Amino acid sequence: MLLLSAAVEAREPVVRTVLLSEHPEDFTPSVYVKGAVSTVLRFEAPVDPAKTRMLAWEGRFEPLLVGGRKVVVEPLRDLEEDEGVPLLVTLTNGREIPFLLKPPGQGRRAELDQQVNVYEDRQRYEAMYSTLMDSLKQQRALKEENARLRQEERSPDHALATLVANGDLKQTPFALGQRWRLKEEGADIVVEILTSKKVPKVAVLFNVTNRDAKRPWKLMEAQLSTVSGKKPRPFALRMQQDEIAPGSMGRIAVIADDSVFQSPQGVEQLALELFRADGLSQAYLVLEWRLFKE
């Protein structure tokens, strides 16, 4: 049994800090928003609701929610790549702070903002604490990424995944099994089950064709876990290239030991999910052990 669907689900909230004192007065911070996802802007001082407004927002955003030191914005739909909606926040102390609401993927940021902490004075305790948390988060992520890369260099499963992603299936112990075609918004995905009588492995190949005319298709992460209990399972992943250009096709290979199906309760079903770079689920698969042994 294999179930496929296009799920839309928010990922772990993304929180970042904007320090106004680090930028010139004519600097307009960007805030990255996505359709049907709320983004919270949090300030040092209370916000004046009467003087806080968006320009030309009708039909594109929910009405602003303003209360205390927070402003909540929520687009009704995804903004186009070249869209930008001005937002002017006025604090009760008279300070006016302009923002530009943009879609994720513009500039260097691929993730949406779910909370933005805005500070004028970097010497305030809250500003220093928030900046420190940002730095520690980045340091931790870099340390984990370096450790992961070192481990992958020694992993046979990653070597197999590299061969599969590059289309060198004849150099592996795998053969093509069942396949399914998904038509998603902006992408066509062909899912192929790879079977083997030589090695006790689980292998899935995604052939992703980017149908977006402007944006490259990027992978944020994949997750493999048990359907019951959501317990994560180890796996190796390789992409043919870091991003897939508009109109192009790229492969994503996932390899794991078939022991991932085993648990104290017996043989489990597994869920394999892909998340695009914007943080939303792209495809969801429910896998059974027998698929890889047919």
pLDDT, tens digit (0-9, with 9 covering 90-100), for 154-173: 678 988 999 999 999 999 99
**Which pLDDT belongs to residue 32?**
93
Pairing of strands 175-184, 187-195: antiparallel
Q: Are 112 and 106 in contact (CB under 8 A)?
A: no
Q: CA 134 to CA 132: how far, in whole Å?
A: 5
Q: Which residues of the chain have pLDDT under 70?
A: 1-13, 21-26, 106-110, 121-138, 141-142, 145-154, 294
Count of Cβ atoms closer than 10 Å to residue 279 Cβ: 21
Provide the b/e sequence for 29-52 (b: ≥16 CB within 10 Å). Answer: bbbbbbbebebbbbbbeebbeeeb
Cross-strand bridge partners of residue 167: none
Cβ contact 284:8 at 8 Å:
no
d(CA 220, CA 231): 20
Dist CA 207 CA 248 (whole Å): 10
Residue-wise pLDDT for 10-59, tens only, equals 445 678 888 886 666 667 899 999 999 999 999 989 999 999 999 989 88
pTM for the model: 0.55
